[in-house]
Amino acid sequence: MAVDVLVATCLGYVVLMFIVAFAADRAALRGRVKWLDHPAVYTLSLSVYCSAWTFFGAVGYATRSGLEFATIYLGPTVVFAGAWWGLRRLVRVARMHHVTSVADLISARFGKSNPLAALITLIAVTAATPYIALQLQSVSLSFRAFTQEADPVAQGGTALWVAAGLALFTILFGTRNLAADERHHGVVTAIALEAVVKLIAFLALGVFVVWGLADGPTDVVGRIAKATAEDPALVQGWLLKPDRWTALIVVSGIAVITLPRMFQVMVVEAADAERLRMAGWAFPTYLFAMSLFVLPIAVVGRELLPAGSNPDLFVLSLPLSQGQNMLALLVFLGGFSAATSMVVMSAIALATMISNHWLVPLWLWLRRRPDGDDAEDLGRFVLNARRLAILAVVGGGWVYHQASGGSAALAAMGLVAFTGMAQVFPAMLGGLLWRGATRIGAYAGVGTGLVLWMVLIFLPSVGIGATPGFPQGVDPLAGSIVLSLGANTLAFLTLSLVSFPDPVERLQGLSFVLAVEPEGPDRAGGDTARSAESLLAMSRRIWGADPALRFFQAEAVAQGKSGFLPDLTPRFLTRLERRLAGSVGTATAHAMIGRVGGGTGLSVADLMEVAGEASRAKEEARRLETARAELARTARQLREANEKLTELSVQKDSFLGQVSHELRTPMTSIRAFSELLKLPDLPEADRTRFAGIIHDEAGRLTRLLDDLLDLSVLESGGVRLNVAVANLHDLVDRAVNAASATGTGRNFVIHRDLPTEHVAVITDTDRLLQVLINIISNARKYCDAPRPELWVHVRRRPDRSTEIDIIDNGSGIDPDRQALIFEKFARLNDPMRAGGAGLGLAICREIMTALGGDITYLPGQGGAAFRVSLPHRPPLKPSASADAPNACGGGGDWNE
C-alpha cells in the first residue's frame, strides 16, 4: 500500500480525534455533559488499559508463551468483576479528597506528605518512560510493516512525528483548565472512541482469521490442538507454571488500579463512584472480547507466515500477506488508537504528578515569602509546569525509543511498568483499610519496593545487571514479583506498627478508612476578614476570578452570610483545601492554606476528633493542653462579658438621668418659646414660627414618652402580639413609604429584589413594620454617602424562617460601638444626633425578641447593615391573640 494513503488515513484519523475532543470539551463547557458522563463512555475510557502492548503484543505473547497472555486480562477481570464495590469505595474516597493522582492519593492519606508523593512520582516516571517508548515503537513498527522499510533508524522520523502530535494533543486537551475536579471531557471522549476502533479492528481481524483463513471455530480448535501437541506450554501454561501465572494475575490486577493512566481514567475522570456498577461487568466483557481471537490469530499466523516473522506484528502482516489492505488499515488504526490513547492518558497523569509533586513544591520553596502571598501567579505556573511536564514525558519516551535503537527489549516494558507501579499498592490498600498505617510505614514499603523493583526487574530489563538467580524451579519473574511486593508489604506493616501517626495522618486515616468527611481542624484565629480576603485572592490566582468568587459566594450562602466573605470555619477551610487540592495536589494545598490562613496545621481541637485511638501518654498531654486552652478561652469570655456588663450597668445607672435629660431638652424650648409668645410686641411672623416650634417639640416629647412606654411594656414581657399573615413585599413597601414620609434625611436609591420579597410571614405585622421603618429611617438619617443607596435582601431559609437584610452604602457604625447600638440611649454622645432619643434600636431588639426572632448588626459590609430574622411562626404565648389572623397588606401573590 502506498505510504501516502497510510499517512493520509492517519492524519484524517488524528483530525477526527481533535474534532471529537474539541466538540466534547465545548459540550462540557456548556454544561451538556449528560452523554459525556454516561457510564458507557467511562467504561470505554477504561480500555486505555489495552495499550499497543496488548493490541500487538498479545498475539506475539501468545505465539511465544501460549495462553499466558491471558493473565494480563484475567487480573483486571478479577478486580473489576469481583471487587467493583472496593473500587467504588476507592473512587468515592479519592473524589471526596479531590485527589489528582495515585501519588496524591497516598500522600493525602499519609498526612499530606509531599516527599512521599514525589517518591511515587519517581517510580511512575521511571516505569512509564520505557512503556511510552514501547508505544512509539509499535507505531513505527506498524508503519514499517506497511512500507517494508528495512532501516529501523529511518523510522525514528515516524516516532518523532507521532510523539510531537501526541504532545500537542495532550497539551491542547489535557491542560485546558485547572478546574478543581481535573476532568478532561475532550480527551476521555476521544479515548472512548478509540476504544471502539480498537475493539472493532481486533474483532474484524479475528472474524477474518477464523472464518476467512481457517474453516470456522472447529477448524481453529483443531489447529490449536495440533500446535499444542508440538508445544505443550501453549495451553497448559497454568499447570506448568502456576507460580508465574498467579504472580502475573496479581500484578496485572494491581496495575489496573495503580498505573497512572488507569488511576487517571478510573478515579480522577470519574464523575462519581456509581459508574463502576456498569464498569464492573462491561470492562471485563471488553477485555474478553479483545482476548477472544488472540490464540487463533497466533496459531494461524504461525502456520501461514514465513518463519522468522515478528509475531508482535502478526495482526498486521497476516491481513497484508493475504492482500487484505483495508482490513490491515483498520487494524493499523486500532493499534494506533491503542498506542496514542495510552500515551495521551499517561502523559496527562504523569504531568499532573510531576507538576504537583515536583515542580510546584519546588516553586513554592524557591519563592517562599513571609507574607504568605506566594500564590501569586501560581495558577499560570501550574498550567505551564504541566505543559512542560507533558513535553518532558512524551519527549522522554521518544528519546528512550531512539536510544534503545528500537530494539525488541522494549517488548518486556509493559510488565516492567506493571510491576513498578504495583509497588505503591500495599501502601494504598493499607491506607484505605487500616487506620494504623503510618507515613513512616508507607515510606518504608514504597522505598523497599522501589529498590527491589529497580534491582530485580527494571535495571536488568534495560541491560544493567542481570536477573538474580532464584532457586531451581522458581520462575525468575514470579520470584522477583513475590520478593519485591512481599518485602514491600512487610516493611510497610512493620514500620506502621512501630511508628506513631501525627495528627494530620490520624485525621486523614480516619477519613480514608471510614470513607467519611472529616471535620477539619479549627484554624480560625487572627483577623478573620483579612485572612478570608487573602484566601480569596489566592484562589483567584489559581482558578481565575469568576470560579473563585462563585465558590466563596456559595460557601458564604451555606454559612448563611450571603453576599459576604465566609467565616474561616473549619468546614470551609477543609472544603477550600480540597478544592485547591484538585488543582495543585493535596500536600501543596495543605501548605498553602496553612500559610495564608495563618495556621500551621492541626491544632489541639482536632485531637478531640481522633482521641480514643491514640497512645495514652500523648493523649493525656494533649488533653491537658486542650483543657488549658479551654480555660484560657473561658477566662477571656468571662472578662469580655464582665466588661460589657460594666459598660451596660453604667448606662443603666444613668438611665434616669438620661430620661430626665431627654425630657428636659424639648421642655426647655417649649417653655422659652411660650414665654416669648406672651411678648406684646412680637412680630406676627415670629409668633407663627415659635408656635410651630412649640408644636414640634411637644410632638418630640410625646414620641419620647411613647417610646419609653413601649420599651417598658416590651421589656416587662407583657406585650400582646397581634398575629396575622402578610406578604413581606407589602410590608417592605409600607416601611419604605413611611420612612420616606418623615421629613428628616435624604432620599435613597433603593435596590430591592422584588420576586424574593413575595413570601408570606406570620407575625405581628405592625410590630415588624415598626422595626423595618426604624431601620430604614435610621439609614436615611445617618447614611453619609454622597449618593445614598439602600439594599433590601429577603431570603427564606430552609427552616422557613425569613431573613431581611437592610444595608446602606454609608460609612457604617464604628466597630467598638456595634456592640452597644441596641442598648437604650446608645445614641448619646453620637456626633450625628438627629432627633430621637436613641431608643429606636433598643425597641427593635425587644420587638424582635417578642416575635421570636432577632435583629443583628452585620459588621464589615461597607455601610450600616442590619439583619432582621423572623421565625416561621412567632412563639406561642397565652396572651397572643392569634386566634383570628387577619390578612394584612394583601394584593400580592404569596409564595408560601
Partner 1 sequence: MGDQTDILLIEDDHSIAEAVRFILTREGWQVAVIRDGGEAVDSIRAQRPRLVVLDLMLPNRSGSEILADLRALPDPLLARTAVLLLTAHGDAVGTAAACGADAGLAKPFANDELRALVGRLMH
- Positions in the binding site for partner 1 (CB under 8 A): 657, 660-661, 664-673, 675-676, 686, 693, 696-697, 828-833
Element (H, E) at 727: strand 723-727
| Minimum distance, C-beta of residue 664 to partner 1, in the bound complex (Å) | 4
Q: How far apart are CA 580 and CA 180, in angstroms?
A: 6
| Minimum distance, C-beta of residue 544 to partner 1, in the bound complex (Å) | 48
Name the nearest CA neighbour of 809 among 837, 836, 786, 838: 786
Residue closer to partner 1 by CB (options 278, 698) is 698
| Minimum distance, C-beta of residue 808 to partner 1, in the bound complex (Å) | 21
Residue closer to partner 1 by CB (options 371, 684) is 684
Name the nearest CA neighbour of 424 among 399, 440, 447, 402: 447
Alpha-helical regions (H) of 293-407: 294-304, 314-321, 325-353, 360-366, 378-403
Residue closer to partner 1 by CB (options 110, 673) is 673
- Copy the grid coordinates of residue 868: 432582621
Name the nearest CA neighbour of 532 among 561, 503, 502, 492: 561
| Minimum distance, C-beta of residue 671 to partner 1, in the bound complex (Å) | 4
Residue closer to partner 1 by CB (options 143, 673) is 673
Element (H, E) at 223: helix 216-230
Residue closer to partner 1 by CB (options 686, 896) is 686
* Integer CA distances (angstroms), 190 to 179, 265, 870, in order: 20, 12, 54
Residue closer to partner 1 by CB (options 666, 853) is 666
| Minimum distance, C-beta of residue 784 to partner 1, in the bound complex (Å) | 14
| Minimum distance, C-beta of residue 702 to partner 1, in the bound complex (Å) | 15
Residue closer to partner 1 by CB (options 661, 720) is 661
- Annotate 9-34 with b (16+ C-beta within 10 A) or e (fewer): bbeebbeebbebbeebbebbeeeeee
Q: How far apart are CA 789 and CA 19, in angstroms?
A: 51
Residue closer to partner 1 by CB (options 363, 825) is 825
Whether 466 and 413 have beta carbons less than 8 Å apart is answered as: no
Residue closer to partner 1 by CB (options 550, 833) is 833
| Minimum distance, C-beta of residue 675 to partner 1, in the bound complex (Å) | 5
For 586-647, give the DSSP string.
HHHHHHHHHHHHS--S--HHHHHHHTTSS-HHHHHHHHHHHHHHHHHHHHHHHHHHHHHHHH
Query: 852: alpha, beta or left, given left = phi > 0 and alpha = psi -120 to 50?
Result: left
| Minimum distance, C-beta of residue 744 to partner 1, in the bound complex (Å) | 12
**How many CB atoms neighbour CB 653 within 10 A?**
10
Whether 785 and 808 have beta carbons less than 8 Å apart is answered as: yes
Name the nearest CA neighbour of 625 among 598, 600, 606: 606
Residue closer to partner 1 by CB (options 472, 829) is 829
DSSP 8-state symbol, 306? P
| Minimum distance, C-beta of residue 679 to partner 1, in the bound complex (Å) | 8
| Minimum distance, C-beta of residue 836 to partner 1, in the bound complex (Å) | 13
Q: How far apart are CA 68 and CA 244, in angstroms?
A: 9
| Minimum distance, C-beta of residue 657 to partner 1, in the bound complex (Å) | 6
- Number of residues that make up the chain: 896
| Minimum distance, C-beta of residue 701 to partner 1, in the bound complex (Å) | 11
Residue closer to partner 1 by CB (options 831, 878) is 831
Whether 244 and 238 have beta carbons less than 8 Å apart is answered as: no
90: which residues sit within 8 A by CB, 6+ positions away? 257, 267, 432
**What type of residue sits at position 872?**
H
